[in-house]
Structures are given as C-alpha cells and as structure tokens.
Structure 1
Amino acid sequence: MRNLMSHHEAHRSNRIGWLRAAVLGANDGIVSTASLIIGVAAANATQETILLAGVSGLVAGAMSMAAGEYVSVSSQSDTEKADLAIEKKSLETDIDFEKNELATIYQNRGLEPVLARQVAEQLMAHDALGAHARDEIGISETVRAQPVQAAFSSAVTFTVGAALPLLVAWTTPGNNLIVAVAISSLFFLACLGAVAARAGGASIAIGAIRVTFWGALAMGLTSIVGDIFGVVV
C-alpha cells in the first residue's frame, strides 16, 4: 500500500491543448516572420522596409493565429456539445440500452460479461453522462476543446516567436541580415522543437530536427522567390 501511495506517474496528456497551440504559434511566428524578412531582404529592400514588413507580419500573424485557433477549436467544442446533448437525451429515454452499450464497450476491452455489466452500472450510477462521454465518444476533461485558451496561447507564442527574427533583423547590418536571420531562426526553431519534445515526453533530437527542417525549407523557398523577383519595394 505504501508503494502505491508513494508512486506517482507524471502523465503529459493534460498538456495537449495548450502545448499544441503554443508550439504551433511559436513555430509559425519564427518561420513566417523569418521567411518574410529573408524574402524581402533578398529582393534588395532597405532595412526600414524589411522591418516594416516584419512588424506587419507579426501583428497580422498573431491576430490570424488567434482567430484561426478560436474558430477551429470552437467548432470542435460545438461538435463535442452536440454529441453530449445526443447522449444525454438517449440516457433519459433508454437508459437500459445505454447500459448495455457501455457494458459491451468494456467487454470488448477484455472484461468478462458479468463484470463489464457491473462496471457499467456502477460508473453510470456515479456519472452516467461522464462515463459515456469518456468511453463511448472519447471526450474527457483532459483533451476537451478550450477555444479561448488555444487562441490566447497561439497569439502570445506567435508574437514571441516572430519577435526573435525581427530583433535580429533590427540589430544586424544589411549585408549580413539574411545570414544572421536564417542562422538565428534555425537555432530558435531547434530550441523550440527540443523544448516542445521535452514537455511532451518525446525525443528531443527528433523534435528539434523536424521543426528545423521545415523552417529551413520555408526560408529557403522564400529567399529564392525574393531573389527571382528582385523588387525593391
């Protein structure tokens, strides 16, 4: 009993909602702003124009991320609420069917029929809707959609991510700007991938590599576009 009381497992699934939005926001902030700065710089724009483009990209991107996350997660939340309403109505009109349905789910997971029925009855006596939401629909408080949290996390982390390459562009002379922004942004992305992987319990090396790869690809393609057109804004 002592070992069971002292044993504690630090699960990370409760971080899914905010971690996904935060990583997505920071990643987009770094990649989109750095790519925008590099693309405009490759077109031989002045540093003032480059900074203006970067700041505009930061503001527009942060608002876009917040709005996009809010709308997307709100849609998920609406679907969850609709499913719960259907389940609640079914519990009110045909509770025996719902007990059998839940018992069948537990039986399919490996419980004996009698035990599965007992488990279903006890869980439904405690919280019928919660039991069906979790085991039939797959909705739990841990991963339930939270639109405001997702929108805020994305907007804040996008702003922080976008500010990093923008700060490098602001402090770096024109001739070295592209190289400095590219190298520093790849470093920022590697750190982001490593931190996100660490928070999620995944491989730090893999997390850093996959984020850095796609960031490098985005910056490289944007630089080519800017160089091809070569337009001085």
Structure 2
Amino acid sequence: MRSHRETHLVARAGWLRAAVLGANDGIVSTASLILGVAASGADRPALLVAGIAGLVAGAMSMAAGEYVSVSSQADTEGADLARERAELAESPESEHAELAAVYVTRGVDAETAGKVASQMMVHDALAAHARDELNITDITTARPVVAALASAGTFTVGAALPLLLAVLLPMNMMAVGQGGGSILFLALLGYVGAKAGGAPPLRPVVRVVFWGALAMALTAGIGRLVGTAV
C-alpha cells in the first residue's frame, strides 16, 4: 500500500496569526495616520514625518505587545507542566486514572482506555498528559520570540506600503490615492492570508477591507475637523 502523507495547515496558525495581525495593523494604522494628517491640510514633509514615526513606533509596539502577551501564555504553560510533573512523581496512579478518563470521554471503552493510558505513560508520561489533559502540543506551544519578530517584521512591511504612496502620490491626489491604494493592499493581505491558511479568500478579504476602510474614514474625518478648527 502506498503511504499517504498529510500536511495540516493548522501548524501555521501561530506565526500566521501574528504575521497577518502585524501587516494589517501596519497598513491600517499608517494609512489612517497619513490620511488624518493630510486631511488637516499638512504638507508632504509632515505626512512623511508622521508616517515614519508611526512605522517605527508601531513596529516596536507590536513586537513588545506580542512578546509580553505570548510570554504570559508560555509562563502559564510552564507552570501547568511543572505542576503535572510533580503530580506524576507524587501520585502516578491518580494521574493514570485521569489520563484514562480523558480517553473514555473521547469514546474509548474503559478497559482499552486503561491500557492506552498505561502505554502512553510508559512512553512519555509528561508528554501524554500535556497533550491529552492540558491540550499543550508542538503546534499550540507559545513562542514569544517568533511571534514578536513576525508581528514587528510584517508591521514594518505593511506600514511601508502607505508610506510609499505618501512619497509618490501628488498632494492633490493624496486622500483618494492613499485610501484606494491602502484598500487594495488590505484586500491583497486578506487574500494571501486566506490562501496561506487554506481558507476561502472572500470572507477574509471583505473583513480586512471593511474594518480598514472604516478606520481610515474615521481618522480622515477627525483630521479634517481638527484642521478646520485650527
């Protein structure tokens, strides 16, 4: 019989989430910032200063935020594993019963569940409990550095796109060109993210375009009000 090799896209979930979040935030926040400043009547140098400042601040914020939040997850996982390791050393019989009960709830009969639990604990008791009792696997394990780098890197790439538009567009076309170009960038991001995750692209594209356009419209409106008042 020919072997059947499966590739599951869920393995990409961790870094893909951070990457899409970073790129989306980079496009939306930088484009919104540039549109808001442009709507206030500022000139091109002011737009570029605002855009560059937004890019640097946003990339650092994304990196720090992802690292701190995912590190908290990693700390929780570490604490759970340490507790499980101690319980395995102190009361292996109780831990065997817990693991067997997990398998019973998944449809295995009690006798078979006991045998499976015994075999799994002989092979690697901590890994078995981490996976089947705590739901900690190689796919879900927190990786703070990877998440931070992915978010900061993709934020920078995303933010560079509206910043490039601010450099190239004529000032009399800045609002329309920046808004339209950024919406196209968001649509492309939604499409690429959906394809990378193996999902149909329509809903992700509509989702990122809608929220991105709303953010840019609100920011431009506030910029126009402030510029008129000043």
Same fold (TM over 0.5): yes
Residue type of the alignment partner of 1:33: T
Deviations 1:98-142 (A, max 9, x none): 000000010010001111111111111111000100110110011
Aligned partner of 1:82 in structure 2 is 79
Q: Paired residue for 1:181, among 178, 191, 194?
A: 178
**Counterpart Cα distance in 1 of 2:11 and 2:189:** 20
**1:13 Cα shift?**
1.3
Could you tell me how far 1:171 is from its partner in structure 2? 0.5
Verify: 1:14 aligned to 2:49, yes or no. Answer: no
Residue 179 of structure 1 aligns to which amino acid in structure 2? V
Q: Which residue of 2 aligns with 1:102?
A: 99
1-side partners of 2:182 and 2:119: how far apart?
54
In the alignment, the residues of structure 2 paired with residue 185 and residue 10 of structure 1 have an alpha-carbon distance, to the nearest angstrom, of: 33
Query: What secondary structure sits across from 1:122 in the alignment?
Result: helix
Partner of 2:21: 24
Cα displacement (A) at 1:195: 0.7
Deviations 1:60-86 (A, max 9, x none): 000000000000000000000000000
Letter in 1 for 2:115: Q
Provide runs of 4+ in structure 1 moved above 4 Å. Answer: none
What is the aligned length?
230
Shift of 1:8: 2.0
Normalising by structure 2, we get a TM-score of 0.98
Return the letter of the residue paired with 1:187. L
Counterpart CA distance in 2 for 1:78 and 1:126 is: 26
Render the CA deviation track for 1:29-55: whole Å, top value 9, x for unaligned. 000000000000000001110110000
1:120 lines up with 2:120 in the alignment: no
Q: Is the 8 A contact 1:45 1:231 kept in 2?
A: no
Query: What letter is aligned with 2:122?
Result: A
The within-5 A match list for 1:191-202 is 191-202=188-199
Return the alpha-carbon distance in structure 2 between the equivalents of residues 128 and 211 of structure 1.
Answer: 43
Distance 1:20 1:179 in 2: 30
The whole-number CA distance in structure 2 between the counterparts of 1:23 and 1:61 is: 14
- In structure 2, the residue matched to 1:212 is 209
Matches within 5 A, 1:154-169: 154-169=151-166
Q: Distance in 2 between matches of 1:188 and 1:119?
A: 51
Cα RMSD (Å) of the superposition?
1.2
Q: Distance in 2 between matches of 1:142 and 1:13?
A: 8
Change (3 A) 1:56 1:232: farther
Matched, 1:54 2:46: no
Calculate the TM-score normalised by the size of structure 1: 0.97
Q: Is the 8 A contact 1:51 1:170 kept in 2?
A: yes
Alignment of 1:136-175 (within 5 A): 136-175=133-172
Match of 1:45 in 2: 42
Q: Match of 1:135, as an amino acid?
A: D
Q: Report the 3-state secondary structure (helix = DSSP H, G, I; strand = E; otherwise coil) of the residue aligned with 1:137.
A: coil
Q: SS in structure 2 opposite 1:102?
A: helix
